[in-house]
A and B are shown apart, each in its own frame.
Chain A
């Protein structure tokens, strides 16, 4: 007979509301915050830049994860990036997950809050992946209802991220860019433009990333994501790009990025790196490369700040 005894606990007190310095993200480049970099980041003197975290990793009650994020948040702006809200699915949003998200936003006073045009939960199964949806009137209504619900629950405007995809749907009747523009128009949300996702989807669906970006509602873009991808071939030897976040940003993606920043001004930009995570200086160098481009165009272009 073995069993795990759940020790009786004292009732959890209400978390004390922290008040952080409202660091600004205007014109800045940041990186994903990875716990393995925490010690190295603390050793650096506080500097420019911001950190983005996946919301769900900070939805535990307490412990080392929150201690680290609180320390980071004291010195830097933080962006909270949800990966599991399932905004793109047909089911109503999970009220518990919405409430956890609201508490997280209240606790860390993030400069930006974002989620994905994708779904990850269906009929009580969480698939732990960003799954694609067809773009039509039915799904548009679902997504707008979900974005409304999320924004009204957390009391904040969110940025919706364009997905990377490997398949398309027969029942799509609206282009992805028109779909995103319509969600912006109906809900007032902003957009997170992931340029690596554009590049990956363009290669996989054989369209031009430039044409896609020309149709993209750039006025609504308040954050940019950059990341690495992997090149594979299918069983017929046809190339397919995987949105793997496991390496440096590809040269072609940097070129698209420079085009976008030249046009939009110094939009806060994040380097995502989620597996095969390198030492901090390597990730930091990617952010500095983005910062150089932001600085080059920030002087002439318009400096945008999602914090306000």
Chain B
């Protein structure tokens, strides 16, 4: 319905005070994410112009702005699906799950679950895990600053006591586990390069921040369980058992060297042992 022209203004201030601003904001906001709802009452635009078109500018700004926010968080998902598919999916998403926080870098935490349930994405079972890696990437980007663990501290610990080390994780460190080759698919689609066939296998991602750069690495089999055990506070020797029980070939020395380079840890502590 298009309303034009001027309405008679209420003359009595008490009438306006009873028109709560809350009701006004509710009326205005109710149609912003609902494309079929009518133009809210109480709005006007100059003679000769189309009020519905004016209200649709706000609708469009809100819808496009939120879709763009989702696209900026999940560029690899968009490259995999193509922009038309992605924007259609994101439009459903922002209407179903609009953000509640004004910090848009926090948005999209349930986008992976949304994709899992999205009818047209069922042929891409790896897609939700690629979204999880991208969401973790942004968490790592904005995570708190902390110094990384100095490798010299680890080197200074006598060999016989290494097993009793406990590590504190850097605030940026994240692990995403997938039954699909999500890390390979993420890596190929996060940039503009060529996309090659990948082996269908489970892949675990390690997301870290080093030198203010977010990095995503593919973990060897057993390494994710090893790191999760460490982050839960296990001693190094117990975490190693967890990893080796799943993958007897896990090269722990090499893995720890890579973890130090990746800035996985921020510090370590040794439990005191009574002599």
Least Cβ distance of B150 to chain A in Å?
15
Q: Is A282 interfacial (CB 8 A cutoff)?
A: no
Does B44 contact A169, Cβ atoms closer than 8 Å?
yes
Binary flags per residue of A116-145, CB closer than 8 Å to B gives 1, else 0: 000111111111110111101111001000
Interface residues in B11-35 by Cβ distance below 8 A to A read: 13, 16-17, 19-22, 24-26, 28-29, 32-33
Of the candidates A124, A136, A142, A205, the one having the most CB atoms from chain B within 10 angstroms of its own CB is A136
A136 to chain B: which residues have CB within 8 Å?
16, 19
Q: How many residues of A contact B (CB 8 A)?
A: 65
CA gap between A65 and B102 in the complex, in Å: 17
Least Cβ distance of B35 to chain A in Å?
14
Does A63 contact B101, Cβ atoms closer than 8 Å?
no
- Please, which residue of chain A has its CB at the minimum distance from the CB of B232? A8
B57 to chain A: which residues have CB within 8 Å?
166, 240, 242
Does B171 contact A10, Cβ atoms closer than 8 Å?
yes
B interface secondary structure, majority: mixed
Interface residues in B117-149 by Cβ distance below 8 A to A read: 128-129, 132, 135-136, 140-146
Q: How many residues of B contact A (CB 8 A)?
A: 81
Q: Report the stretch among A22-30, A83-91, A175-183, A213-221 that lies at the interface.
A: A83-91
Does B46 contact A206, Cβ atoms closer than 8 Å?
yes
Q: Is B104 interfacial (CB 8 A cutoff)?
A: yes
B98 to chain A: which residues have CB within 8 Å?
125-127
Binary flags per residue of B138-173, CB closer than 8 Å to A gives 1, else 0: 001111111000000000000000000000111111
Of the candidates A61, A170, A204, A238, the one having the most CB atoms from chain B within 10 angstroms of its own CB is A170
B17 to chain A: which residues have CB within 8 Å?
137-138
Interface residues in A137-166 by Cβ distance below 8 A to B read: 137-139, 142, 166
Q: Is A6 interfacial (CB 8 A cutoff)?
A: yes
Binary flags per residue of A53-84, CB closer than 8 Å to B gives 1, else 0: 00011011111111100000000000000001
Interface residues in A231-249 by Cβ distance below 8 A to B read: 234-236, 238, 240, 242
B25 to chain A: which residues have CB within 8 Å?
89-91, 119, 122, 131, 133
Least Cβ distance of B209 to chain A in Å?
7
Q: Is A9 interfacial (CB 8 A cutoff)?
A: yes
Which residues of A come within 8 Å of B, CB atoms? 1-10, 12, 56-57, 59-67, 84, 86, 89-91, 94, 97, 119-129, 131-134, 136-139, 142, 166-171, 173, 204-206, 234-236, 238, 240, 242
